[in-house]
Amino acid sequence: MLKIDMHTHILPKKLPNFAEKFGYGDFIFLVHMQDGSANMMQGGRFFRNIKANCWDADLRIQDYAAFDTQVQVVCTIPVMFSYWAKPQDCLELSKFLNDDIADLVHRYPKQYIGLGTIPMQDTELAIQELERCKAIGLKGIQIGSNINDKNLSDPEFFPIFEACQELGMAVLVHPWNMMGMEHMRKYWLPWLVGMPAETSRAICSMIFGGVFERLPNLRVNFAHSGGSFLPTLGRITHGYNCRPDLVAIHNEKPPQDYLGQFWVDCITHDPKLLQYVLDMQGSKRVTLGSDYPFPLGDLEIGAFINEMNLPPDVVEDIFCNATLEWLDLKKEAFL
Amino acid sequence: MLKIDMHTHILPKKLPNFAEKFGYGDFIFLVHMQDGSANMMQGGRFFRNIKANCWDADLRIQDYAAFDTQVQVVCTIPVMFSYWAKPQDCLELSKFLNDDIADLVHRYPKQYIGLGTIPMQDTELAIQELERCKAIGLKGIQIGSNINDKNLSDPEFFPIFEACQELGMAVLVHPWNMMGMEHMRKYWLPWLVGMPAETSRAICSMIFGGVFERLPNLRVNFAHSGGSFLPTLGRITHGYNCRPDLVAIHNEKPPQDYLGQFWVDCITHDPKLLQYVLDMQGSKRVTLGSDYPFPLGDLEIGAFINEMNLPPDVVEDIFCNATLEWLDLKKEAFL
């Protein structure tokens, strides 16, 4: 069975020192270590140690073979978004990252599919780079759950989503710049508590802001099974019903009407929650994702799904059909 | 069948103008309107319009009779916590609110059970008022999911929890002061997205900070079915497993070990999620709650549970046994 992992992160092995080049800012740069790993540095501070599977295409293919997975959808690491930078500088950085991924997918057309990053803080430049992403062979973009604390319902982002629909470019929304981060540094809470909330914030913003309503053909996938959105949809719907004066100010339709219009990945680490998600979304809208190569990801690439005794057609939907539909690709291209 | 709603809010009909009295601060005061409602004012700003069911004991009992519910556990509205105030002033406000509830439960011992509020920002005064709450007949306290942005794992709160255990005072943790609020004012997102995250933050903090481990007899209940904690426990547990250096720094035990040590209410607005919660917690640890009298609450007081075809003993656990155990009370007292 074809298995496509649609949520994986990758970096170029070498990054220019953008902070030095631009003369400001905490742009990420890499310090390669003797043991073959690299330290991601944010300004002068250590951010994260990464291994060769973060940049080595062949090593990754080997890793994936162990889990019978043939195709990886790759995108950058959210900390690279750099939406806080001057738009032109973010554009330059984005181009560098996008070109690296375009090069990869041209060299490995059956093993890799690419998503780009664009300077969301500048509508015009974002659309310009979106168009270029399409031209160089990427199939969509990855964006943050908020853009410098602005929500995805903000009117300045609408033309970008509109362009995505027009160009047929898919969107992956990934949590980052987590709410409350400054007050919960301990116990990894920004990742364990903040990220699921960020994704719910993003989905709510796109629903209540009318983005999905106005762009019915926009193809959006939300990381980590939509975070806390689906399991708290009872509360969200009740809020919509009881206080439309607060919630339904830009879109009259109830939130549950949009279930099945967007996709979510399967990264729940919990068969029971995945079953709950499948019941809500339908298997055509739940995609195999892992967050590879990071430890918080499902590094067995959906192995737990094999143990859930799901009908074979449901498994096939998750493993490939849902992703192919999200990205508007044909299965034959990867056989 | 005895039905006890353990999550309801109440206010005194008349509140002193504490802002005027203390000479600073956005203390809540009430402006009663001709239509019988009242506007809660925060500083000079309108916060929320409330009705007589926020203070009228007999009216509330009538309302509850329509849903076959005999007993209400009452506590203040989180915006009244006023942890930001000078500790002595918060103590005075807390005493005023606690005395009002104590008076109510003495007048209606079979219909009302009281939870107090204490000045969490000052450990010594908090314990002093906790002791007084017990002396005046309250059965526990309600606290916020964070205390002025400090997490419940903070060492300054431990002596308060320790005193709760020693005194046999139960704790209800309620979301407030929601993370990210300043960046998501629209669509009621602090209530729909921020609150579930807040409660997860509180549970994670008490688990990873070792509070539950060190105080095995502390009886804590978390509002709104624990917010996003239970449905994201797969992610949280995976985080604990893969990065113990970040997560398990103060407590070695895995988070799922604490399922069933604490209580959650049933406010999910979703039978499927409630079933998920019951599967995780067991019916002895899921309590009937409503958030009455506010619109985001379940104002049919658990009517959806009757339609779930649950075994009668499970329903009885939710409707009364779990709450009686949480508050260490005997059923006979309310028959």
- Tens-place pLDDT, residues A254-289: 999 999 999 999 999 999 999 999 999 999 999 999
* Banded pLDDT at B176 (limits 50, 70, 90): very high
A vs B: CB pairs below 8 A = 187
For residue A251, give the chain B residue with the closest CA.
Answer: B187
**Is residue B205 within 8 Å of residue B153, measured between CB atoms?**
yes
pLDDT at B4 over 90: yes
d(CA A332, nearest CA chain B) in Å: 34
Of B187, B246, B276, the CB nearest to A204: B187
Of A189, A201, A239, the CB nearest to B201: A189
DSSP E strands, B207-318: 220-222, 263-265, 286-287
Chain A residues with CB under 8 Å of B146 CB are 183
Interchain CB distance below 8 Å, B268 and A227: no
Write b or e for each residue in A201-212: b if 16 or more Cβ atoms lie within 10 A of its Cβ, otherwise e: bbbbbbbbbbbb
Interchain CB distance below 8 Å, A151 and B184: yes
pLDDT digits (tens, 9 = 90+) for B116-157: 999 999 999 999 999 999 999 999 999 999 999 999 999 999
**CA–CA gap between residue B143 and residue B138 (Å, rounded):** 14
Instruction: Give me the percent of chain B exceeding a pLDDT of 70.
Output: 100
pLDDT at B320 over 90: yes
Identify residue B117 by its one-letter amino acid code: T
Mean pLDDT of A36-63: 95
pLDDT digits (tens, 9 = 90+) for B278-293: 999 999 999 999 999 9
Identify residue A95 by its one-letter amino acid code: K
Q: Which two tokens stand for residue B247?
A: 């997560």
**Is residue A276 within 8 Å of residue B272, measured between CB atoms?**
yes
State the Cα angle at A7 between A5 and A10, rounded to 5°: 105
Instruction: Give me the percent of chain A exceeding a pLDDT of 90.
Output: 99
pLDDT at A131 over 90: yes
**CA–CA gap between residue A273 and residue A256 (Å, rounded):** 18
Q: Domain B57-334 falls in which CATH fold?
A: TIM Barrel (3.20.20)
Interchain CB distance below 8 Å, B270 and A146: no
State the Cα angle at B77 between B299 and B180, rounded to 5°: 95
Interchain CB distance below 8 Å, A180 and B197: yes
* CB atoms near residue B61 (< 10 Å): 16
Of B249, B276, B295, the CB nearest to A242: B295
pLDDT at A43 over 90: no
d(CA B325, nearest CA chain A) in Å: 27
Which of A35-49, A77-91, B171-185 is least confident?
A: A35-49
* Banded pLDDT at B44 (limits 50, 70, 90): confident
pLDDT digits (tens, 9 = 90+) for A192-245: 999 999 999 999 999 999 999 999 999 999 999 999 999 999 999 999 999 999
Handedness of CA A119, A124, A127, A128 (dihedral sign): negative
Mean pLDDT of B35-52: 93
Q: Share the mean pLDDT of chain B.
A: 97
**CA–CA gap between residue B210 and residue A202 (Å, rounded):** 32
For residue B181, give the chain A residue with the closest CA.
Answer: A179
pLDDT at A44 over 90: no
Question: How confident is the model at residue B43, as a pLDDT?
Answer: 83
Interchain CB distance below 8 Å, B151 and A243: no
Interchain CB distance below 8 Å, B246 and A196: no
